[in-house]
Amino acid sequence: MVVDIVTKREPGHKVIVKSYMGPWTGDDMLREEFTELERWAKKNGIRTSKWFRIYLDKYAVGSPSDQRRWWASIAYRGRTLTLPPRMEAKFLSPELVASVTFNPEVVSDRLVFHGLECWLDWRTKQGEFEEAGPTREVFVGNPWVDPVARTQVELQVPIRKLGARS
């Protein structure tokens, strides 16, 4: 398996979102929120596609970890939704992203996260790209029950092109 960083245009997605505030709790992070979203979508006959685990707050030294915000989000197709309390409908705009697709059973997710962060720092110093939004993990389904979703994780960081160097 080749793991490399690519830039691509990610299309927009209508998503149902359940928020969480608190520290990183490990690989089961947001499992409860995703389960609730999935259960509600199935019960209401909503066709879903990609799953997004979105880190809204960039890690900063000294920032209180219990106040970091996260979204469990599942993309859906179709009509406007009437959602229960604590769920929201959002739209993830189409945007340019730096992306890495990898199997976390083969390549450490820490290696991918830090590698992408260093790549982006280097590209920013070179005047090519800068970070333009929150980091997100993308799954093709439920990573806790679907073996394909568990082994094909995509890490995306929205980016914006910077002006040409002089």
Cβ atoms of 136 and 54 within 8 Å: the answer is: yes
Task: Report the pLDDT averaged over residues 116-141.
Answer: 94
Reduced to 3 states, what is the DSSP secondary structure of residue 27? coil
Q: What are the tokens at 138? A: 């993308």
Is residue 37 over pLDDT 70? yes
User: What pLDDT does residue 19 have?
Assistant: 94
Q: What are the tokens at 67? A: 């106040």
Task: Report the pLDDT averaged over residues 100-119.
Answer: 93
Q: What domains lie within the chain, and their CATH numbers?
A: 6-161 (3.20.80.10)
Amino acid residing at 116: L
Q: What are the tokens at 57? A: 């707050």
- As beta bridge partners, residue 16 has 74, 89
User: What pLDDT does residue 166 have?
Assistant: 40
Q: What percent of the chain has pLDDT over 70?
A: 94
Task: Report the pLDDT averaged over residues 49-57.
Answer: 93
Q: What are the tokens at 48? A: 């879903």
Is residue 165 over pLDDT 90? no
Q: What percent of the chain has pLDDT over 90?
A: 76
Q: Which of 21-25, 44-48, 140-144, 154-158 has the lowest mean pLDDT?
A: 21-25
